[in-house]
């Protein structure tokens, strides 16, 4: 099921009273900005264990109330959005579970869904609806300043409910993110993780590897690689500039799908090595022609535009 966006422009009655953001980094601050800009909630509260991040969020006026303890932030929340690194989901869900009010909805922005369901799901009280989600959006920048209220406009937001998930809760979460301009779609958690292993996780792993190779060069050679960076290498360095903690957790929590796709990539790379070694230009041209069509598909889907820069409360 896909819900079409309203281009982030339409405002109506608030969909929720109080929304709690747990983790005020790039995505958390973008959520806080977006729901306010598009009138999706009456009130925003923020929780973050980092006193520095919390203080900066307060300076940016991203919320109406600020807490270090997630348990205090979620007590009056109608919907809670978990925006921390994946490795913290289980502990945070356990800590906040006794404080969630009956009828509340818990969702998240995690890049891996199977692990989120396994880590957080068992701690959810029967009186609370858990709707796992993942916006296909974000930049390599971190912290409260990195967010943008328009980050989700025209971007896909995947929800991965199962057969036990309250459909009314799914509908309300869909309405929330659609109000913020996203294109909301549902899929199975396992399928999501396999797709994202190709579209996001493997490209990041490759970027980290290529930039790491450049880092291992010595002296003038390393300096020249940096000085004469062409567009491709610059793009890799941008990707490799993402949060180390976040991506450590993504690879560890989606290891099976990533390893499967990495094996397929390794086989394809070996094929290219042979083609280059033996001068088989026809094989190279055939592959490059096919991959060009993929790029055209991305453009036609309107997913080629860069994400908006955040900061200054926008």
Please give the structure tokens belonging to residue 103. 């009828």
Q: Three-state DSSP class for 42?
A: strand
Residue 184's DSSP bridge partners are 3, 157
In the chain, the N- to C-terminal Cα span, in Å, equals 31
CA nearest neighbour of 133 among 180, 100, 97, 71:
180
- Assess contact for 106 and 128: CB atoms under 8 A: yes
Residue 7 above 70 pLDDT?
no
Residue with tokens 């109506």: 12
Secondary structure (DSSP) of 93-156: HHHHGGGPPTT-EEEE--S-SHHHHHHHGGGS-TTSEEE-EEES---S--SGGG--TTTTTT-E
Tell me what pLDDT residue 274 has: 94
Q: Fold for domain 192-300?
A: 6-phosphogluconate dehydrogenase C-terminal fold (1.10.3660)
- Assess contact for 38 and 181: CB atoms under 8 A: yes
Tell me what pLDDT residue 38 has: 97
Q: What rounded mean pLDDT belongs to the chain?
A: 89
- Assess contact for 46 and 56: CB atoms under 8 A: no
Tell me what pLDDT residue 244 has: 86
How far from 65 is each of 55, 71, 142, 310, CA to CA, in Å? Answer: 11, 13, 21, 21
Residue with tokens 């966006």: 5
Up-side HSE of residue 298: CA atoms within 13 Å toward CB?
Answer: 10
Using CB atoms within 10 A of its CB, is residue 7 exposed (0-12), middle (13-18) or buried (19+)?
A: exposed
Secondary structure (DSSP) of 47-90: E-S-HHHHHHHHHTT--SEEESSHHHHSTT-SEEEE-S-GGGHH
Q: 69 — phi, psi (to 5°)?
A: -85, 120
Please give the structure tokens belonging to residue 41. 């909630």
Tell me what pLDDT residue 216 has: 79
Specify the length of the chain in residues. 314
Distance of alpha carbon 313 from alpha carbon 107, whole angstroms: 23
Mind listing the pLDDT tens digit for each residue in 166-225? 999 999 999 999 999 999 999 999 999 999 999 888 888 888 888 887 777 777 777 777
* Confidence bin at 242 (pLDDT 50/70/90): confident
C-alpha torsion angle, residues 205, 118, 136, 37 (rounded to 10): -140
Tell me what pLDDT residue 312 has: 45
Helix (H) or strand (E) holding 45, with range, is strand 41-47
Non-local CB neighbours of 82 within 8 Å, separated by 6+ positions: 22, 23, 89, 92, 93, 106, 107, 108, 109, 110, 120
Mind listing the pLDDT tens digit for each residue in 20-57? 999 999 999 999 999 999 999 999 999 999 999 999 99
Using CB atoms within 10 A of its CB, is residue 277 exposed (0-12), middle (13-18) or buried (19+)?
A: exposed
Mind listing the pLDDT tens digit for each residue in 140-165? 788 999 899 999 999 999 999 999 99
Domain locations in the chain as residue ranges = 2-187, 192-300
Q: Fold for domain 2-187?
A: Rossmann fold (3.40.50)
């Amino acid at each position: 099921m896909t819900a079409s966006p309203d281009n982030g422009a339409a405002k109506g009655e608030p969909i929720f009273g109080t929304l709690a953001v747990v983790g005020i980094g790039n995505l958390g601050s973008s959520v806080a900005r977006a729901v306010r800009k598009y009138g999706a909630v009456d009130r925003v509260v923020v929780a973050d264990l980092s006193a520095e991040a919390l203080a900066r969020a307060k300076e940016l006026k991203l919320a109406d109330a600020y807490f270090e303890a997630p348990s205090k932030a979620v007590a009056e929340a109608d919907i809670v959005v978990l925006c921390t690194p994946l490795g913290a989901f289980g502990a945070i869900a356990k800590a906040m579970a006794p404080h969630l009010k009956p009828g509340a909805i818990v969702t998240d922005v995690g890049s891996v869904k199977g692990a989120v369901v396994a880590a957080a799901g068992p701690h959810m009280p029967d009186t609370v609806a858990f709707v796992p989600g993942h916006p296909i959006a974000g930049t390599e920048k971190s912290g409260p300043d990195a967010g943008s209220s328009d980050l989700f406009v025209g971007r896909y937001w995947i929800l991965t409910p199962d057969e036990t998930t309250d459909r009314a809760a799914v509908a309300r979460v869909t309405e929330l993110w659609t109000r913020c301009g996203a294109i909301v779609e549902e899929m199975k958690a396992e399928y999501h993780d396999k797709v994202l292993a190709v579209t996001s996780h493997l490209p990041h792993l490759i970027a980290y590897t290529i930039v790491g190779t450049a880092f291992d060069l010595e002296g003038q050679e390393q300096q020249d690689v940096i000085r004469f960076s062409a567009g491709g290498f610059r793009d890799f360095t941008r990707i490799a500039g993402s949060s180390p903690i976040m991506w450590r957790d993504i690879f560890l929590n989606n290891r099976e799908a990533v390893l499967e796709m990495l094996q397929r990539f390794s086989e394809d790379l070996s094929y290219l090595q042979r083609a280059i070694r033996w001068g088989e230009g026809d094989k190279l041209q055939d592959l490059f022609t096919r991959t060009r069509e993929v790029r055209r598909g991305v453009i036609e889907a309107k997913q080629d535009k860069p994400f908006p820069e955040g900061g200054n409360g926008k």
